[in-house]
Structure 1
Amino acid sequence: MLASVDGEIGPAEHARIPITDEGLLRGDGAFEGLRLYSGRPFGLDDHLARLAHTCAGLRLDLDERALAHELAQLLEAAGPVDGVLRIVLTRGGRRILFVEPLPRRPRIARVGTVRYAPNRITDGLKTISYAANDLALRLAREQGFDDALLVTPHGRVLEGATSAFFWVRDGQLFTPPIEDRILPSVTRQTLIDVAGAVEEVCTLDTLHGAEEAFLASSVREVQPLAAIDELQLKAAPGPVTLHAHAALRQAIEAELG
């Protein structure tokens, strides 16, 4: 792994920040994670726009010029790798960038539902305070599932622990609406644009009519689901899922050339 801290590039294991940084002490900061294809990031402008939105919401300073310069330097040093680019900005004023390998995930996943109440004050902000999401993932895995599906105490299905959620009914692709206080995912919006996904409120009862479902994110692209709790889906992957993934790949190829 290769990292940059305020423009100083070196092995990630040697990167250092002060222990007094409130990004470390309080989880106060912003971040983005995006996929690298032969060293080229997909959706970079959209991710940087969301980062700026998060920083504005957190009242966190963002030096866009310095970040852009350091990002270009890190990508040049990393070379034509397939991996994940992380951008982390802390309350202590650190700009942390690093390139890491793609995580290993099953091609087809089973998800367990976890009760979750969104934090209203940080709606729409991608902060580094991810303890709740990570705990949801651990709770699901303790029950033998691969990932977590976040569901409100009132039974509304929201999203995965680190991904957007899509399901299929009568051949139509759906995803929960932003108004349900889910993260405005870059990959989610791309799939709405290129695969014709429709926003619709989703409940656990809704899912009993689902034919297919999948999780989507910048890093995983599209991950088909075989089961949600005890509900076994008819197809994993099904034709709508396969079409959505193909449309996403076409969008990636069109942007990166």
Structure 2
Amino acid sequence: MSLILVDVLAPGGPRPADPEAPLLHADDLGAVRGDGVFETLLVRDGRACNLARHEARFRASAAMLRLPEPDMGLWRRARELALAAWPGGEAAMRWVYSRGRESTGRPTGYILISPAPPRRTRVRVLLAERGFSLDAGARAPWALIGAKTLSYAANMAALRHAREQGHDDVLFTTAGGELLEGPTSTLVLVRDGALATPDPGEGILPGTTQAALFAEAAAAGIDCAAGRLHAAELHAADSAWLVSSVRIAARITAVDGMALPDPGEAAERDFRRLCDRALAR
């Protein structure tokens, strides 16, 4: 498998690194405690997609963790080095930025490009309670709700649990049944030709793909709204989707074993084309 690695914070500036050689020290706080942030971008036609939104979320996540302000000039230089070395084809580009070595306090930063994984275009999801209330971020800012941190163990555990129960993915909810997000995706509903998503201000990671999709849809005259959504609305919608940077769009076909309405091939194709246009900008 082709891998491209660039050490962003190397002495003297970004430089290519051997992806088969060690990069992290044993006391790196990203590995030891998950104390860091990351972004995953789609690479298509030799470019990183939806770049400005990823950069903005990357900086916001770093600020929430009180990491040193990332020097985006260095990260851009590293990104271009990585893209220039990539042999072609769709890929996933990861930016990883951690607090660094416990013994030195020097941050760690690297960019990794790998082939895009196979896409699942339709998924059966399990509703799973997230375990916190919508105002948890305001009451407990140390929970880092809304930051894209390296601490993804709980999200991965939720996915494993769902797959053990015969589902493909998870859709988190509040205790009261309000819809939140997937472990690695944002929920979008299509209702009477309009788009809806749970409010990113209510304890949900702002979705870069969802933001690009809504901008493209609004430019095409499609109504878009963010607000509180409940589980029953999944079955009332024309279609329901999980969107993310590399997967792009997976249509939800069933929730807790109950089938959702099928919008038909034409409607499904139109939604996917809208996503592709959004990521092409």
TM-score by length of 2: 0.84
Between stretches 54-63 and 19-28, larger displacement belongs to 54-63
Q: Which residue of 2 aligns with 1:177?
A: 199
Q: Which runs of 5+ in 2 are unaligned?
A: 101-106
1:212-227 matches, cutoff 5 A: 212-227=239-254
Q: 2:103 maps to what in 1?
A: none
SS at match of 1:14: coil
What one-letter code is carried by the residue in structure 2 that aligns with 1:36? V
- Measure how far apart 1:234 and its partner are: 1.5
Secondary structure of 1:160 counterpart: coil
Q: Which residue of 2 aligns with 1:132?
A: 154
Does the residue aligned with 1:194 lie in a helix, a strand or coil? helix
> Aligned residue for 2:213?
191
Secondary structure of residue in 2 paired with 1:159: coil
Cα-Cα RMSD: 1.9
1:52-67 aligned within 5 A: 52-61=59-68, 62-67=70-75
Match of 1:3? 5
Match of 1:75 in 2: 83
Q: CA deviation at 1:237?
A: 5.6
The alignment partner of 2:201 has SS state of helix
* Percent of residue pairs bearing the same amino acid type: 33
Report the count of equivalent residues: 254
**Which structure 1 residue ranges, 5 or more long, are not aligned?**
none
SS across alignment from 1:140: helix
Cα deviation for residue 250 of structure 1 reads 1.9
How far apart are the structure 2 equivalents of 1:179 and 1:63? 27
Deviation, 1:240, is 4.5
After the TM superposition, which parts of structure 1 deviate over 4 Å for at least 4 consecutive aligned residues?
236-241
State the Cα deviation string for residues 207-233 of structure 1 (Å, max 9, x = none): 232231111011111111111112211
Residue pair 1:87, 1:97 contacting (<8 A) in 2 also: yes
User: Could you tell me which residue of structure 2 aligns to residue 87 of structure 1?
Assistant: 95
Residue identity in the other structure for 1:192:
F
Tell whether the 8 Å contact from 2:235 to 2:261 is kept in structure 1 after alignment: no
Q: Tell me the CA shift for residue 101 of structure 1.
A: 1.2
CA drift at 1:38? 2.3
Report the CA distance between 1:3 and its aligned residue.
1.1
Other structure's SS at 1:95 match: strand
**Local SS of the residue matching 2:181:** strand
In 2 relative to 1, CA 172–68 (structure 1 residues): closer, same or farther, beyond 3 Å? Answer: closer
2:221 aligned with 1:207: no
Distance 1:42 1:109 in 2: 24
Q: Which AA in structure 2 matches 1:84? A: A
Does 2:276 match 1:249?
yes
